[in-house]
Structure 1
Amino acid sequence: MPRIVVDYNKCTGLGMCEAEAPDLFEVQDDGSLKVLNDTPGSDELAAAQAAVDACPTEALTLVED
């Protein structure tokens, strides 16, 4: 099952991931990113991939464990 990995050194909190997958990501009031679920189910994989693809800083990846 894929897992979402965030490189917090690259993340700028723009919220593109939250726009693509609001059930998986939330940008906090201070601009930091909170991953709500780092192991998306099969029904959330398309949204997770869209969030990874939408990230302008390439801070998100999906990795197989």
Structure 2
Amino acid sequence: MKVSVDFDLCESNALCVAMAPDVFELDDDDYLVILTEDVVDENRDRIQRAVAACPKSAISIVED
């Protein structure tokens, strides 16, 4: 599985960064960057919390 972001919906409000800083970050221009797309056991819970916290529903987990 992989994490996916609809950048047309994303407002880069950084809630996902707070939930999963090993997966998401904001660049110098405050745009969201995915650091790793792979959803693995070690980051699954954090990514699921980020998906649930996104106010624009821009983040999802998709099958490979």
Q: TM-score, normalised by structure 1?
A: 0.92
Distance 1:41 1:52 in 2: 15
Q: Which residue of 2 aligns with 1:28?
A: 27
What is the deviation of 1:30?
1.1
RMSD: 0.8
Q: How many positions carry a matched residue from both structures?
A: 64
- Structure 2: state its 5+ residue gaps: none
Residue identity matched to 1:39: D
Q: Which residue of 2 aligns with 1:8?
A: 7
Q: TM-score, normalised by structure 2?
A: 0.93
- Structure 1: state its 5+ residue gaps: none
Distance 2:22 2:60 in 1: 17
What is the deviation of 1:64?
1.4
Residue identity matched to 2:18: A
- SS of 2:61's equivalent in the other structure is strand
What is the deviation of 1:29?
2.3
Identical columns (%): 38
Distance 1:12 1:24 in 2: 17
Runs of 4+ more than 6 Å apart:
none
